[in-house]
Amino acid sequence: MARVPAAVVAASGLIGGYGVARWTKKRQLGGIVLAAAGATAAQQWRQQAGGRAAGALTVAYVAAFAGSHPLSKKVGAWPAVFGAAGAVALASWAVADRRAA
């Protein structure tokens, strides 16, 4: 079975977490999606690029989540989430996913 790249997992966690929180009106459910995808991506990052890279990408994932909040006041919620997800996906690909391919 083909493995889903960590970049896709991480981006999906940010987008899916926000979507679930918005549509269910339950932020906790969105947080569960965000955390589950982040943990899955972190495990893949560790396997593909090592612990130090996994730690840095996990920090980037959390920073993208946190940074999308103030950015949403300037550009809107969905553009901020898509921008954050894109940035994390690009970082994931550059640091871990392209090595695994």
Q: What pLDDT score was predicted for residue 99? A: 74
- Give Rg (Cα) of the chain: 13
Q: Which of 11, 5, 20, 1 is CA-nearest to residue 60?
A: 11
Residue 56: which residues within 8 A CB-CB, separation 6 or more? 95
21: tokens are 């929180």
Q: What pLDDT score was predicted for residue 3? A: 85
Q: Which of 5, 13, 3, 4 is CA-nearest to residue 61?
A: 13
Q: Which of 79, 77, 73, 84 is CA-nearest to residue 12?
A: 84
Q: What pLDDT score was predicted for residue 88? A: 98
pLDDT tens digits, one per residue of 25-78:
999 999 999 999 999 999 999 999 999 999 999 999 999 999 999 999 999 999
Overall average pLDDT of the 78-97 stretch: 97
